[in-house]
Structure 1
Amino acid sequence: MAKKDTYLALLRRGIDETTAQILSDGGIKIGDLKKLDSDTLVNNYGIKKEVANSVLDAVKSGPRSSSRQRFLADVLSDDQKKVDKIDETRFKREQKDIYAELQEKKEQLRLARVEAFRNQKLVMNRLGKTIELIVKLENNLDDESKDEQRSKLRDQLETRGLEAARDHEMLELDGTPQDIVDFRRKIAPVLCLHACPHCGEEMDPRGSNIMDGTSDFSFICWDCEEEFHAPMAQVVEGRLDNGSRIKIDPKIKPMMPVVRPPSKHKSSSITDLMKRDLESAGASAEELEAALESSTLSGVLMSIDEWIDQTIAAKGYIQAQEDREEFIIATGAGATKFNKWMKKAGLVFNKQTGRWTRWEDR
């Protein structure tokens, strides 16, 4: 019971729970604490110097109004000063300026990285084109037999080599540009060669495939004269032979419902309408046939050649001012195509009279 009373008494004096628990477990009383000094508390109970001084001050001052106020508030915190409004505004302004400056620096770094990447990309593309040109020049140099052409090719190789070295140094790459050229000329083509499964001889697929068999893609070894297929072709052929392909049943119904489009409404022709009217009027079959023939003759447009022959036979000539309207109504042709059809029919135009006539009637 004494330990609990000591513990509560220490809490009422503003000492924290951990320190109060340590002192109460040690069997010390409030009256005994007033007689001790800070060194004794530090040595006997393992309390820090500042905490011991605060405990002694709290015990000597008596209970406080706030029962569980932490004593560390008195030890670690200074007297809070009231912040001036001007200083607070100045501090916020400086903080805002620093933040804006940091954002600006961050944006500058981002733009610098983007610009550096763009420059490296341009240099890389230029280096690639230069390497391809050097490869082409070296191939031509190996195939060239004339000394004059070989000297020109060497000069071009020297110039392109300097350009490639400059770009290679700007990109800070390992090795030399000649290493890239050698890989492009000597190593990369070898990686694409096929090996004969019988004798192991490597061959270029461009010159070893059999051109006679158009339905199959096979190779032939010119050393052992054995034909063989590429591994990928064998895999595909095995899939085709084993029947493991996906089969589609043409009679299977679709998974989703198919909506049929609406049927088109067939509009009745003029002949059907006339036949329906005559049947409703009670006409006979002969009358129906005569009416249909007369309507067909009167409803069909005249051909252009027929109209030209009739007009020439009646008048001996055709003139645009006189016959254009009749031509349009009878044939259904456009108004601007009158002269074209006259020329197409073989008529001759007389500029003095403005008439179209046949060549023999001019």
Structure 2
Amino acid sequence: MSQENPAAAPGSAPVVEVVGVSKRFGKVVALQDVNLAVYPGEFLTLLGPSGCGKTTLLRIIAGFETPTAGHVLLAGRDVTALPPEKRPLNMVFQRYALFPHLTVAENVAFGLRLRHVPEAEVRERVAQALALVRLEGFEQRLPHQVSGGQAQRVALARALVNKPEVLLLDEPLSALDRKIRLQMQDELRQIQAEVGTTFVYVTHDQDEAMAMSTRVVLLCDGVITQIATPLALYQAPASEFAANFIGDANLLEGTVVERGGKLAVAWCGLVLEGLAAPGRAAGDSVRLMVRPEAIRLVETDAATEATCADGILERSSFYGFYWIHRVRVGDELLVVREMGTAQPPSPGAPVRLAIDTARAVILP
């Protein structure tokens, strides 16, 4: 498992620690021996397909679920047995959970008044929270009088007004349409940077995780498969699952060969040099990952390069500012992402592909 932590200063202590946590629901294993450290100021995202255990892990951190085994520590203190209201964190849910009979301001103030915070301080902190989420002037509206995106901002303000050490967010944008979701992604990241609160965020949306996170925790079948920055996760996935789940990936079967005293990979008649192949020897079979943008179409009458392959263009799809081509090379169907709006060759035309081996990765 890969683990990186650019957000944590040297020597900084984790604000959240999950130690050896497992969770069973009857015979179903939801989480298995999960270990995780979250550092102050991080925007850490739990990412994975449905049923991978990410929401269960978040609920265990929040105190809504009790682990079958293991411990949860907040700022070094074991809180495994503490109920949610005793933990120094707040949670934002997918469905907002706003009180329909309370105004926006009353919803935001609810937790403060429950704790008997002086009324003058309540008004001041509510005003600050609503300004932070850009909802000044909405104080007297009821939840049914605001849009979905605005309702989610109210829920965020209600959580942040309590000044939690950690904010947990369970797929808060999944119910919004695409345009509002993209806008809220940017606003959430901006708000998190302004307040400096540690965010632990759950999503199944890869683009969302890549756009907002300082680190991503990738889960599959209740196990953490990789922890990395978004860039490292995309460029150097630690498994075939990670390669396929994060963006598009061409997975090619190759063989390690020796070329000029160095190891290279033979694939489809080509010899791809300059690839890191630790622990591999000539003759070993390997799985090679090449992202679609690391392959480009070149002129078929261009001089043949060592990293060029000839194929047949099966189809092309236009996405506004880039093309996705599917090209048959031998038995392999490669996906190629090409920026620009120039019209590609017609389906069935012979094409030549240049592969950038510096961006290819041999999977473990």
> TM-score, normalised on structure 1?
0.18
* Structure with a larger share of its residues in strand: 2
> TM-score, normalised on structure 2?
0.17
Higher relative CO (Cα under 8 Å, sequence separation at least 6) belongs to: 2
> Greater Rg, structure 1 or structure 2?
1
